[in-house]
Amino acid sequence: MGLTLISGEGGSLAARDYPEVAESPRFTCALGGAYSAALATYGAVPILHSGSGCGMANAHGMTYASGLNSGGPSGTTVTPCSSLIEEHVVFGGEDKLRRLIETTISVMKGDLYVVIPGCVPALIGDDVDSVVSEFKDKAKVIHVKTSGFVGNGFLGYEHYLDAVIDSLLTERPVEKKLVNILGVVPNQNVFWKGDLIYLRDILSKIGVEANPIFTDFDSLGAIGRIPAASLNLVFSPWVAHGTVKKLEDRFGTPYEAINFLPVGPKKTSALLRTVGRLLKIPKKRVEEVIAREERAAYRFVEYMAELFMVAMPHSYFAVIGDSLTVATLIRFGANELGWNPKLAIVTDDPPEEYREGIEKLLTTNLEGIFAPKVIFDYDSHRIRLALREEPLQVILGSSLEKYIAGTENEAHHLSVSYPVYDRMIIERSYVGYRGGMRMIEDMSHAFAGPI
Instruction: Kindly identify the residues of this chain, within the stretch 109-148, that bind other proteins according to CB under 8 A.
Output: 109, 118-120, 122-124, 148
Coil/strand/helix, residue 387: helix
Which residues, numbered 299-338, are part of the site for other proteins (CB under 8 A)? none
Contact 96, 84 (CB under 8 A): yes
By CB under 8 A, tell whether 352 contacts other proteins.
Answer: no
Q: Give dist(CA 260, CA 257) in Å, integer.
A: 9
Which residues, numbered 397-436, are part of the site for other proteins (CB under 8 A)? 399-400, 402-404, 419, 421-422
DSSP 113: E
Min dist CB 198 to other proteins, Å, is 23
Of the candidate residues 111, 139, 150, 220, the single one contacting other proteins (CB under 8 A): 150
Nearer CB in complex with other proteins: 79/232: 79
Of 174, 320, 337, 190, give the one whose Cα is nearest residue 263: 337
Of the candidate residues 149, 298, 300, 303, the single one contacting other proteins (CB under 8 A): 149
Min dist CB 13 to other proteins, Å, is 5
Nearer CB in complex with other proteins: 300/403: 403
The one segment of 58-66, 243-251, 269-277, 311-319 that binds other proteins by CB under 8 A: 58-66
Nearer CB in complex with other proteins: 6/369: 6
Q: Crossing angle, helix 352-363 and helix 323-335, to 10 degrees?
A: 10
Element of type H or E holding 161: helix 153-168
| Cα torsion angle, 98, 99, 100, 106, sign | positive
Q: Crossing angle, helix 323-335 and helix 265-278, to 10 degrees?
A: 120
Nearer CB in complex with other proteins: 87/127: 87
Q: Give dist(CA 219, CA 214) in Å, integer.
A: 6
Min dist CB 88 to other proteins, Å, is 8
Min dist CB 372 to other proteins, Å, is 23
Backbone dihedral angles phi then psi of residue 210, each to the nearest 5 degrees: -100, 140
Contact 299, 380 (CB under 8 A): no
Contact 315, 393 (CB under 8 A): yes
Nearer CB in complex with other proteins: 84/344: 84
How many residues are given for the chain?
Answer: 451
Min dist CB 264 to other proteins, Å, is 28
Helices in 279-392 by DSSP H: which ranges? 283-311, 323-335, 352-363, 380-388
Of the candidate residues 37, 44, 54, 223, the single one contacting other proteins (CB under 8 A): 54
Which residues, numbered 163-222, are part of the site for other proteins (CB under 8 A)? none
| Cα torsion angle, 210, 213, 216, 217, sign | positive
Query: Which residues contact residue 93 at a Cβ distance below 8 angstroms, ignoring those fewer than 6 apart?
Result: 49, 82, 84, 120, 121, 124, 126
Which residues, numbered 360-389, are part of the site for other proteins (CB under 8 A)? 380-381
> Max alpha carbon distance in the chain (Å)?
73
Nearer CB in complex with other proteins: 96/225: 96
Of 204, 186, 207, 206, give the one whose Cα is nearest residue 195: 186
Which residues, numbered 9-48, are part of the site for other proteins (CB under 8 A)? 9-10, 12-18, 20-25, 27-32, 45, 48
Min dist CB 226 to other proteins, Å, is 25
| Residue 262-291 contact track with other proteins, rule CB under 8 A, x = bound | ------------------------------
Q: Give dist(CA 279, CA 273) in Å, integer.
A: 10
Which residues, numbered 72-101, are part of the site for other proteins (CB under 8 A)? 73-89, 96, 99-100
# of chain residues touching other proteins (CB under 8 A)? 95
DSSP 208: P
Min dist CB 234 to other proteins, Å, is 24
The one segment of 71-79, 240-248, 261-269, 358-366 that binds other proteins by CB under 8 A: 71-79
Contact 226, 202 (CB under 8 A): no
The one segment of 137-145, 149-157, 166-174, 427-435 that binds other proteins by CB under 8 A: 149-157
Min dist CB 443 to other proteins, Å, is 16
Nearer CB in complex with other proteins: 109/299: 109
The one segment of 59-67, 265-273, 357-365, 366-374 that binds other proteins by CB under 8 A: 59-67
Q: Give dist(CA 398, CA 413) in Å, integer.
A: 9
Nearer CB in complex with other proteins: 19/173: 19
Min dist CB 444 to other proteins, Å, is 21
CA dihedral 357, 376, 244, 427 (to 10 degrees): -120
Q: Give dist(CA 231, CA 253) in Å, integer.
A: 6
Contact 29, 61 (CB under 8 A): no
Min dist CB 46 to other proteins, Å, is 9
Of the candidate residues 104, 232, 323, 429, the single one contacting other proteins (CB under 8 A): 104
